[in-house]
Structure 1
Amino acid sequence: MYVRAAAALASVTGSVVIGVLVLPTAAQAAGKHGGPVVIAHRGASAYAPENTLEAIDEADDLDATWVENDVQRTKDGALVIIHDTTLNRTTNVEELYPDRAPWNVRDFTAREIAKLDAGSWKGEEFTGERVPTLHEYLRRVDHNHQKLLMEIKSPELYPGIEAQILRQLRKDGWLRYDHVTRRLVVQSFSADSMRTMHELRPDIKTGFLGTPAVTDLPEYAAFVDQINPSNTTISADYVRAVHAVRGAHKEPLEVNTWTVNDAATAQRVAALGVDGIITNAPDVVREAVED
């Protein structure tokens, strides 16, 4: 298990923690001691509109313990759950606001985004699904007793978003000991963002999305606990090299690979020794890799 003596934490989080934190590995956090953890990508997005509350519930129905999401910020400073930095692929924004191309998330207020239909593009039965706020999303994940792999999407567009996310996590109870140690990982394609997150809350597990060169792994290990690469970029040698480096919490770096949606690929990456598989279809992957 991870053991880390935590220093007094940044005042922005609204809490001070001093002592020893015991952070489990990915497999332990999921209550498993065998194959890789299965993580529902944007919820069970093969079956429900991605990053919606319906997708979380569908993942829960499929017994997916972990869900992954994407956090961005609106024009007026609200945190919302959506993958693209534009709204047009997964909502009816072009219909409601035809003169506001290119429909950037950051150019719309929370009230405007709340009016959008984020479900009908996936199927008529999902008409009326909304883009959830981070607050709404956290409440649903908590209600379902699930765990969260949170991605900070394009943080370079949203200065200070790391501290803002931490404030929201605190308000919703996600900085409690049980959540931090067993139910939360924060990741990003931005190394700078993860460095900032680690500096603000060194007790939170963090992950870098990408495939750094093996020679660069010690640099990343100073502020992350996971290296989370595309499944097309890894080999058994690479996974072993990652595991050979101890991360920010002094345990071997973990590997969660994405996005795997078929049984053959799931079995291939499981054989490489990955710790987790991020998938749109958690039922397919679980069946393929279960012991």
Structure 2
Amino acid sequence: MPDPALIAHRGYAGVAPENTVGAAVAAASREDTTMIELDVQPAACGTPVVIHDERLEGDPSRSRAGRPLTDATGLVWETALADIQSASVLGTDETVPTLADVLAAVPDSVGVNVELKHCGASDLRFAELLGPDERAERRALWTPFVERVVADCDAFGGEILFSSFCEGALAAAREVGPEYDRAVLVWDALESGLELARRYDCEAIHPPRNAIAGLPLAGTEYAGFDSEAPAIDIVETAHEEGRAVNVWTVETWVQYDQLAAAGVDGIIVEYPGLRRGSDPLSR
């Protein structure tokens, strides 16, 4: 069985300032990195910027060793691009980049998983299955931003994979950039994730690490799932339908070993070197 693809979560956020050019370049320099995962949302002018949280100072419920995400404040999509680009990330010299800047800095030998995190709307309908009328409305809401993202990705020569928890984002991605692969991110319900994957012809599905049947990890609470065993074998079902399974977010080599043995296709990891036999410090 081949090793799963190693996907660097926010550019290996466990060892580098997340979602920055420096993190992406360092991740790309490792021979074992298959793909870099990053998050995008719009600045006030609509330019796609690479940042996870809705607010520049970060979500206080998300632990980053007590540090604010950046030294700026305010909602990302209400902030001028220049102010976002000058914001220091986690007390380092790295600043919040545009998507175009990150894609220009990494070689096309490494793929990029672009998570469509936010479009600047107040209600994203996170991880919900929508009715037909709502789908059209949400697709239209996301389309202007996704058009900007696709335009940036068109200038990149490597593999691009769009992913999202939001149905509107997946619908817009299929309409605006049908040539790019898509993946549904799963939160709290494998059935809903599979339905979205089918609805939008997604090439992949991204469940959390505790949603893989038969593993000790499945007995832990994470990402909206409780400690009950998964009712669906997501690896078997996805593979029968011709979809890849990329699991998030893995923090230890023990977790990596369990998921690799379960036959997943990719593992989104917080740290480099989790694959057995690799050097965590080598580049």
After TM superposition, is the score higher than 0.5?
yes
SS at match of 1:259: strand
1:240–1:140 distance in 2 versus 1, CA, 3 Å: same
1:65–1:215 distance in 2 versus 1, CA, 3 Å: closer
Alignment map for 1:185-204 (pairs within 5 Å): 185-204=161-180
Alignment map for 1:18-57 (pairs within 5 Å): 34-57=2-25
Q: How many residues are matched?
A: 227
SS at match of 1:281: coil
Shift of 1:69: 0.3
Alignment map for 1:5-24 (pairs within 5 Å): none
Contact 1:262 1:284 in 2 (8 A): yes
Shift of 1:145: 3.4
SS at match of 2:40: strand
1:57–1:167 distance in 2 versus 1, CA, 3 Å: closer
Q: Distance in 2 between matches of 1:191 and 1:35?
A: 30
Aligned AA (1:194) = L
C-alpha RMSD of the superposition: 2.1
Q: Does 1:217 align with 2:217?
A: no
Q: Distance in 1 between matches of 2:147 and 2:213?
A: 35
Structure with a larger share of its residues in helix = 1
SS at match of 1:269: helix
Q: 2:71 aligns with which of 87, 92, 110?
A: 92
Q: Does 1:117 align with 2:88?
A: yes
| The 10-residue stretch of structure 1 (50-59 or 214-223) with the greater mean CA deviation from structure 2 | 214-223
Q: Does 1:256 align with 2:253?
A: no
SS at match of 2:273: helix
What is aligned with 1:146?
110
Q: 1:169 aligns with which of 143, 153, 159?
A: 153
Deviations 1:73-117 (A, max 9, x none): 0112221100111111311115xxxxxxxx111121001112211
Aligned AA (2:168) = D
Deviations 1:135-154 (A, max 9, x none): 10110123x73210110102
Q: Distance in 2 between matches of 1:78 and 1:201?
A: 17
Contact 1:47 1:58 in 2 (8 A): no
Deviations 1:113-167 (A, max 9, x none): 12211142xxxxxx3211011110110123x732101101023627421111112
Contact 2:183 2:197 in 1 (8 A): no
1:134–1:266 distance in 2 versus 1, CA, 3 Å: same
Query: What 5-or-longer segments of structure 2 have no aligned partner?
Result: 58-67, 122-140, 215-232, 279-283
1:209–1:256 distance in 2 versus 1, CA, 3 Å: same
Q: Does 1:280 align with 2:274?
A: no
SS at match of 2:194: helix
Alignment map for 1:220-239 (pairs within 5 Å): 220-223=197-200, 224-235=202-213, 237-239=233-235
| The 10-residue stretch of structure 1 (61-70 or 207-216) with the greater mean CA deviation from structure 2 | 207-216
Name segments (4+ residues, structure 1) moved above 4 Å: none
Aligned AA (2:213) = S
Aligned AA (1:41) = H
Compare relative contact order (CA 8 Å, sep 6+) and give the higher one, 1 or 2.
Answer: 1
SS at match of 2:275: helix
1:57–1:219 distance in 2 versus 1, CA, 3 Å: closer
Shift of 1:285: 3.4
Q: Distance in 1 between matches of 2:206 and 2:148?
A: 24
Contact 2:185 2:205 in 1 (8 A): yes
1:187–1:193 distance in 2 versus 1, CA, 3 Å: same
Shift of 1:192: 2.2
SS at match of 1:284: coil
